[in-house]
A and B are shown apart, each in its own frame.
Chain A
Amino acid sequence: MYWNENIECADRAEMQRVQSERLSNMLKRVYENVPFYREKLKEAGITPDDIKSVNDLHKLPFTIKQDLRDNYPFGLFAVPQNKVVRLHASSGTTGKPTVVGYTQNDLEMWSECFARCATMAGVSNHDIAQVAYGYGLFTGGLGAHYGFERVGASVIPISGGNTKKQLQLMEDFGSTVIACTPSYASFLAETVTAQGIKDKLKLKIGVFGAEPWTNEMRSYIENTLDIKAYNIYGLSEIIGPAVSMECECQDGSHIQEDHFIPEIINPETGEVLPYGEVGELVFTTVTKEAMPLIRYRTRDLTKLIVGKCKCGRTTVRMAPVMGRSDDMLIIRGVNVFPSQIESALMEVYEKSPNYQLIVNRNNNLDTLEVKVELTDEHWNSEVKEIEMLKKRISDNITSLIGLHASIKMVEPNSLPRSEGKAQRVIDNRNI
């Protein structure tokens, strides 16, 4: 089942023709209406006429999140305020929030994209869709809401939280679809198990996104709730959820590339990487009216998969996000992400342990030390048990990233407990 077979299954030449035409129109609009972009293109010595097709995309300058902050709140809008019908904003943990605006056509396009995604997961007008994403400034709730309505599903706009009520309505209304963050889905699954009410539910499809999740989480949710769990990807700067979505093959997420053209770049140099290589995901929105973005750097690391999918769609797919480009380390010329170290640890540990990466340079040679907290499950009383654990971790890391890491076991709860590079990585190289 496709929502829009013409475009989702278009051949490559047709897709590129659509993209090129839309790209060119978008550039003309922003050049005329957004002083920020006009200046930026002038600086780069480019006029919209220089970009003849999608193959010229790499000539355009990048846009970064700071540009959105610098132009807070409406500086990047390409339409007058009377055309803007909706405003969303990110929470903005550091500094000012980032604001995004939508025209009526933008909302139409968003619903269309979400409807394609919902159809990919098998959602139709026979379904009852419970939207447990937060409604409000966050794009998750309203994005899912109008998308499910578009396919004709009966939408329950319950928003996030209030687990008791979620489960009550899920049972009483017979919800067949649940849309929320994967961590909340895990929590719901735990609660359903604890209350022994699984048999009273009719759930069959989960549409989960807005945060990264692991395959372990997916299996846990799928097995506990007896549903198929699909990843949906998006970011508010681009549109919100529905930038890409997994089909039933669960082999990468199909990007709605007639609206959002993806590229993968080397985060250090900005150079475009060929399909299949891991780098930073960049999007150019070619149909958005209120706030088009040119080569917006998402800071998400992934790779692109081309070629017709088993589901029949031909749109480019993206692999699950592997980490943030800010987190990337280059050690002896090898790209290393803390998330890779974490997955190496997960082969040995039951739960993700606290760890820290320490990079040093001795005699012009980079060294990587991984500090890991010892947990009770790994030893009894002997040195050899701990030495074997260290060897297993070290072997896993070597096979995953191709670098030797020296492992140092540390006491439980002795490492700082926080997400993000600041605590996870100590780089002493001064480069």
Chain B
Amino acid sequence: MIIKQLSIFLEDKVGRLAELTEILAKNDINMSAFSVADALDYGILRVVVGRPELAAQILKEAGYSVKMTDVVCLAVPHQPGGLYKALHILSENNIAIDYMYAFASNVDSATVVLHSDDVKHLAQVLQDNQMELVKSNKIYQV
């Protein structure tokens, strides 16, 4: 239910991002989803990968500042209003989302990665409202 996301501080966005993807590829670690949060002179790469603990260790050894954060992955069907329904539930429950990003996982649905202050509560509310969360064993293999 709770997914481990890696956040990586990137001082030089383009060059270091290329290096990082190369390191993961060389170590046979699959990236399922990623987004780059862009600040003025640095970026934060957020990524969901297969074998997050190993990936974090490898990246730390390569000199990156790496943090592991809990997130929720929500399956959103490819149909009008799919995302709206989920966000409406969250707003009804007064849950503020710090950030989110999406990736296409198969033909029928997209996966949306969500982070809030209290990720457990976030997951619980979504489940109570019959929203479909992607399980960790599935997501790490996407």
Contacts and interface: CB of A to CB of B under 8 A. Distances in A.
B44 A409 contact: no
Contacts, number: 52
Given A379-B9, A380-B69, A381-B46, A408 B41 contact: yes
Contacts of A387: 39
Contacts of B9: 374, 379, 386, 409, 411
A194 interface: no
B63 interface: yes
B67 A376 contact: yes
Nearest to A378: B65
A361 B67 CA distance: 37
B67 A409 contact: no
Interface-central residue, B5, B11, B98, by most chain A CB under 10 Å? B11
B42 interface: yes
**6 A-B pairs with least C-beta separation:** A381-B7, A381-B69, A411-B11, A410-B11, A374-B65, A383-B37
Contacts of A383: 37, 39, 44
A411 B7 contact: no
A380 B63 contact: no
Contact of A382 (B10, B11, B99): B99
B11 A414 contact: yes
A104 interface: no
Interface string B91-110: 00000001100000000000
Contact of A412 (B41, B46, B63, B69): B63
Interface-central residue, B5, B7, B9, B67, by most chain A CB under 10 Å? B9
Contacts of A375: 65
B65 A376 contact: yes
Contacts of A411: 9-11, 16, 63-65
A412 B42 CA distance: 13
Interface string B45-81: 0100000000000000001111101000000000000
Given A381-B69, A410-B11, A386 B39 contact: yes
B44 A381 contact: yes
A231 B10 CA distance: 43
B36 to A, nearest CB: 11
